[in-house]
Structure 1
Amino acid sequence: MRFNATVAVVAVACALSACGTGTSTGGDGPLAGQAAEVVGTWSGEEQARFEKVLAAFGEKTGAKITYTPAGDELPTVVQTRVSGGTPPSVALVAQPGFAAQLAKSGAIKPVASEVEQAVSEHYAPIWKTLGSVDGELYGVYFKAANKSTVWYSPKAFEDAAVPAAVPGTWDEFLAAGRALADAGKPAVSIAGADGWTLTDWFENVYLRTAGAENYDRLAKHEIPWTDPSVRVALEELAKLFGNQQLIEGGSSGALQTEFPKSVTNVFGDPGKAAMVFEGDFVSGVISSSTDAVVGEDAAFFPFPSVKGSEPGVVVGGDMAVQFKDDEVTKQLMAFLASPESGSVWAAEGGYLSANKSITSDTYPDDVTRELAGQIVDAGDNVRFDLSDLAPAAFGGTKGAGMWKDLQDFLADPTKLDETVQRLEADAAKAYAP
């Protein structure tokens, strides 16, 4: 999930009124004269690349497909559209918890049998499970993200004479950060203005300190956020958040830094920090916003082990769900489940898929191939972004719930008791039947 402040007002107003900003013109084909609208979070370069996917569908079928960007406000936009009786044909939803709410309310439709068959053929079983509600498949994961990567500037490490450029443990990561700070370079640029990045920090630490079983239980709110396992993860995270020398601009500066800026803080000229934690989509910002070359000036390593934990991968993804049951919508969903659709964006860069039928040589570089391979090779041994599994009111709403509580924790990591109490209060309210 990413948020582009420059288009926020236009995107939200447009989505609420059901107008589109990008259109595949359609043409001859079996669906000529038919139309559908897709709502998603993407804007800018991501929107342009997704529109190429929709254009490929339009050229194949003759259908006219309109794309409307909604940014981080997508849950609000979709709910408003549904309530107003003007739902889109398809939405790309980043929160399975929100998709489950839509399914249980009857707002979205189960996928057609041919779509389910495509998912079974091209995806590991975990992705079918994640797209299902009460055993029925409602969604197709079109785009995936590897959210367990730390991106760094090799030059910054060399200039600081840091001996290990690839920290394997959390203690080594913090030690490298202190060495970088001592050499005059803040270790990490944190995008604290975008609360979703802080949930990713927490989830990676929690998976490694609490284990997969507790991760699953917390995601379902089967254990409270006041559980000792949550405190342990926050205590580890406070070792970073509480050291102002390790953070570019300190906590106050981080809380004013949006995600794209956190990346250019590391890979722009001059670089202001040595590392930035986030998903594979960091590479797209590097390529589009800096002169750094991914694989040369920019590299990544897996999120480090904490307290001797086994390797783990936190993933995210954008799931296509359908609000309409007409032929053009069904065929569009089947297309999005196919390797053909994902290959269009994969060739452009800035994209990963859990679709195992997309060949590795489709991706444009070795770094992206490695990132995509980690997701596919992990099979069912992945854990989905916990905040996206939660109800949107807790895990996916700007300025509220988990996003806001972790922003407050970044501002003052000493307030651990207050943080877990607020997290539990917000979660209990959001998970209440």
Structure 2
Amino acid sequence: MRTIRRTHKAFGSRKAAVALAAVGAVALAGCGSGDSGTDKKADDGATTSAAPTVQLPKLNGEKIEVAAVWTGPEQENFTKVLTEFEKRTGAKVTFVPAQDPIVNFLGSKIAGGSPPDVAMLPQVGAIQQAVAKKWAKPLGAEAKAQLAKNYSKGWQDLGAVDGTQYGVYFKAANKSLVWYNNAAFENAGVTVPKTWKDFLSAADTISASGVTPVSVGGADGWTLTDWFENVYLSQAGPEKYDQLSQHKIKWTDPSVKDALTTLAQLFGKPSLIAGGADGALQTEFPASVTQTFTGGDAPKAAMVFEGDFVGVNIAETEAKIGTDAKVFPFPAVGSDSPVVTGGDAAVALKDSKGAQALLTFLASTDAAKIWAEEGGFVSPNKSLDGAAYPNDVQRGIAKALISAGDDFRFDMSDQMPQSFGGTPGKGEWKGLQDFLKNPKDIAGAQRKLESDAAKAFES
């Protein structure tokens, strides 16, 4: 297999960091949890819908399959988007649950002669692999027109390979947020930290108050890659971040040692992590969120780091976003707070009228509005009215992402070959899980990460 060229554009982070700071200000102001700017209701209580902004073809009787790794509330909310597409086109759309790594899942489906029409790919590297394997089909004229109308060049470039557009980034993620239990902060008498040093100090104070400060979903290795990326971007800077993303520098580089040393200041103190390292490695991401916002005056943790999608899991508790659950930007390790984004791109695997129509719909504000109203979602669609989001916190996060324009960095592990950056139990996921368990062996972690990365980039 040839080495896949990495053609996405990399961006700076300063403007996004400034914009994101406003999110913390909104949360600290104690905004309400829910009703301002939500759905417009008719007199009979039904939700009104605006006139369609995109025209779709009639596809009566056509069957379309869409594969994605989403489960639970994410799958339910995406299904609402697909249901609207069905109503407007007459097509029948089936959601196909996929497993990570999705490239392997799709490979087996294609080998068996039954590829889905569209796949939601959660990594830039996965798009590039799909193109290299000649699975992906270029976007049609209608989809490209919606993309050009509604997306900044940065988000368009992330879905392109060698100048050809393949992907529509339907769902984005701001992965530089720390969500916190407001009562736990108030009881401990701590304020929102702005720097890594202040973050560790706040964690010690919260621990002394009787609440474990940090919840880590270490059973899902991708959460650990996000911890590393935020520390690394803030500490090493954008240029080093780009170099490591493309393996132009090795994981044995001193900058990686510095980042792991910083992480070890948290990972190396079991009292600061709910359940200690062993407990964290048995905690899946959804539980890492819910245990932070349940338990009344005795939650299992006071803070949980992850993206805007945390809101979906908070919604499964009784906590209200903006009052019980608040958010602040990832603390600055270097001179600036980092801004790391992620996203899921729709890619056609069949060159059919139905697949292209669905991509056109997903690139429109009509589709983005449906999920935005449900919460736990941020759209990179710059034309989407912010009033679609259900609360001020979610609205502020989305505004920060759009205000950043092309000024952000995409998730590092998602830019890498999926065998290294996106496979459970292997590569970076496994390397950082081992590091969480033994944060003293920084050199050993670097050697293992470099060995696995070198193999992945050579394949």
Is 2:69 aligned against 1:41?
A: yes
Percent of matched pairs sharing the same residue? 51
| Aligned position for 1:362 | 388
Identify the residue that residue 8 of structure 1 maps to in structure 2: none
Contact 1:29/1:61, CA 8 A, preserved across alignment: yes
Counterpart position of 1:403: 429
SS at match of 1:276: strand
**Residue aligned with 1:280, SS:** coil
State the match for 2:345 in structure 1: 319
Aligned-partner Cα distance in 1 for 2:182–2:375 = 22
Match of residue 60, structure 2, among 29, 32, 43:
32
Q: Is residue 416 from structure 1 mapped to residue 442 from structure 2 by the alignment? A: yes
Q: What does the per-residue CA deviation read over 1:21-80, in whole Å, with 9 as the maximum and x for residues that have no partner?
A: xxxxxxx97110111100001112211111110111111111111111124342321121
Kindly indicate whether residue 298 of structure 2 is the aligned counterpart of residue 248 of structure 1.
no
Q: Letter of the aligned partner of 1:303 in structure 2? A: F
The one of 290, 301, 323 equivalent to 2:328 is 301
Q: What amino acid does structure 1 have at the position aligned with 2:333?
A: V
Match of 2:318 in 1: 291
Tell me, in whole angstroms, the C-alpha distance in 1 between the residues paired with 2:116 and 2:194. 45
1:359 maps to amino acid? D
Q: What's the counterpart of residue 92 of structure 1?
A: 120
Aligned alpha-carbon RMSD (Å): 1.2
Please give the alpha-carbon distance, in whole angstroms, between the structure 1 residues aligned to 2:393 and 2:329. 13
- Give the equivalent residue in structure 2 for 1:75: 103
**Quick one: distance in 2 between partners of 1:345 and 1:146?**
16
Map 1:94-133 → 2, pairs under 5 A: 94-133=122-161
Q: 1:258 to 1:83 in 2, by over 3 A?
A: same
Indicate conservation of the 8 Å contact 1:29/1:62, yes or no: no
Rounded to whole Å, the distance in 1 between the matches of 2:152 and 2:238 is 18
Partner of 2:358: 332
For normalisation by structure 2, the TM-score amounts to: 0.86
CA distance in 2, matches of 1:147, 1:414: 26
What secondary structure, in the 3-state scheme, does the structure 2 residue paired with 1:55 have?
A: helix
- Contact preservation (8 Å) 2:139, 2:167: yes
The answer to whether the 8 A contact 2:99-2:105 is kept is no
Question: In the alignment, is residue 183 of structure 1 matched against residue 209 of structure 2?
Answer: yes
Deviation at 1:256, TM superposition (A): 0.6
| Higher RCO (C-alpha 8 Å, min separation 6) | 2
CA offsets per residue over residues 261-301 of structure 1, 9 Å max, x none?
A: 1111110124111100001111110112x111111000000
Residue identity opposite 1:70 in structure 2 = A
TM-score when normalising by structure 1? 0.91
- Distance in 2, matches of 1:76 and 1:329, equals 21
The aligned runs of 1:157-306 (5 Å cut-off) are 157-162=185-190, 164=191, 166-270=192-296, 271-288=299-316, 290-306=317-333
SS at 1:91 equivalent? strand
- What is the letter of the counterpart of residue 310 of structure 1? D
**SS state of the match for residue 214, structure 2?**
coil
Note the C-alpha offset of 1:232: 0.7
Identify the residue that residue 146 of structure 1 maps to in structure 2: 174
Q: Secondary structure at the match of 1:341?
A: helix
Q: Structure 1 residue aligned with 2:375, among 334, 349, 354?
A: 349
The letter of the residue matching 1:263 is V
Q: What letter corresponds to residue 277 of structure 1 in structure 2? A: F
Secondary structure (helix, strand or coil) at the match of 1:231 reads: helix
Higher helix share: 1
CA distance in 2, matches of 1:199, 1:369: 26
CA drift at 1:214? 1.0
Q: Conserved in 2, the CA contact under 8 Å of 1:103 and 1:133? A: yes
Which one-letter code corresponds to 2:270 in the other structure?
Q
SS of 2:327's partner is strand
Q: 2:90 corresponds to which letter in structure 1?
A: G
Aligned residues: 402
- 1:29–1:63 contact (8 Å) kept in structure 2: no
Instruction: Give the superposition deviation at 1:257.
Output: 0.6
Amino acid at match of 1:411: K
CA distance in 2, matches of 1:335, 1:74: 23
Amino acid paired to 1:295: G
2:13 corresponding residue in structure 1: none
2:172 is paired with a residue whose SS is strand
Higher deviation after alignment, 258-267 or 64-73: 64-73
Q: For 1:283, give the aligned amino acid.
A: G
Residue by residue over 1:323-348, the C-alpha shift from the partner in whole angstroms, topping out at 9 and shown as x without a partner, is 01111111111111111111111111
Contact 2:81/2:371 (8 A) holds in 1: yes
Q: Does 1:137 align with 2:162?
A: no
Task: Give 1:13's aligned residue.
Answer: none
2:103 and 2:130 in contact (8 A); partners too: no
